[in-house]
Amino acid sequence: MFSFSLHQVKGPNIGLLGFSKGGDLCLSMASFLKGITATVLINSCVANTITPLHYKDMTIPSLGNDLGKHTITESGLMDCVNIWNNPLEEPDHRSLIPLEKAQGPFLFIVGKDDHNWKSEFYAHIASAWLQAHGKDRPQIIYYPGAGHCIDPPYFPPRIASVHAFLGQAMFFGGEPGAHSKAQVDAWQQIQTFFHKHLDGKKSVKHSKI
C-alpha cells in the first residue's frame, strides 16, 4: 500500500500517469497494486518492454524486438516503429500485462504519427482485451499528426532526440503544428480525467501561456 507523507497529497485516491516505457510500468502497477484509482497512458505499450518485470514470485518477460528492422530517415535518424514483435503472437504473448486485473479506468493518449512503436495498435489491444474480460472500454483519444513525445503544453515538440536506452538519435514522429496542438489538448484531457475519477470534478481551468 501507499503512504501519504506529503501535505500536498490529498488522497485517498491514486492516479498514475505514464509515458512510453513509463506507461507499461504504470499498467503493471495498476494491475498488481491495490489502491490505484485511475491510470493515464501516453503512447504506451500494453506489453512489458526493455527488461523483464519481476513482482513477487512472477516474471513477465520483455516484448521481443528485431533491431535489424529499423530504417534510417533522410536526416540520418533511426526509425524503430517496426522493430517490435506482435504481443498477440507467441512467444511474445507472455509479455502482455494482465490489465484486466486493474480496478480503475484507463485513458490512452495516442499520437497517430508515433514512430517509437505502434501506440494506436496497442491501445486497440487494450480495449479489446479489457472488454473480453468483462471490463469497461478504456477512453482513447487519438491525435493525428502527433508523434511519440507528447509533453506538457508549450514544450518544444520533440520530433527527434537521443533514445535513453539505445543511445542513438531517434525519429519519434510528429508534425510540429499538429503535435503542439495535441500537447495542449492532451493536458486538458488528462486533468479532466483525473479530476473526474479522483475527486469527482468535471471541469478544469484551461492552459494559458
Per the residue annotation, which of 31, 114, 115, 119 is the catalytic one? 114
H or E stretch including 177? helix 176-194
Give residue for cell 507467441. 90
What is the chain's percent helix, strand, coil content, to nearest 5? 30, 20, 50
Catalytic residue among 79, 95, 148, 197: 148
Whether 28 sits among the annotated catalytic residues: the reply is no
CB 187 within 8 A of CB 155: no
- DSSP 8-state symbol, 88: T
End-to-end Cα, the chain, rounded Å: 38
Is 163 in the active site?
no
Which stretches of the chain are DSSP H helices?
21-32, 119-132, 176-194
Length of the chain: 209
Cβ–Cβ contacts within 10 Å for residue 192, how many?
15
Position of cell 469527482?
Answer: 200
What 3-state DSSP class applies to 37? Answer: strand
Residues 119 and 177: their CA atoms lie apart, in Å, by 20
Residue 127 appears among annotated catalytic residues: no
Active site residues: 20, 114, 148
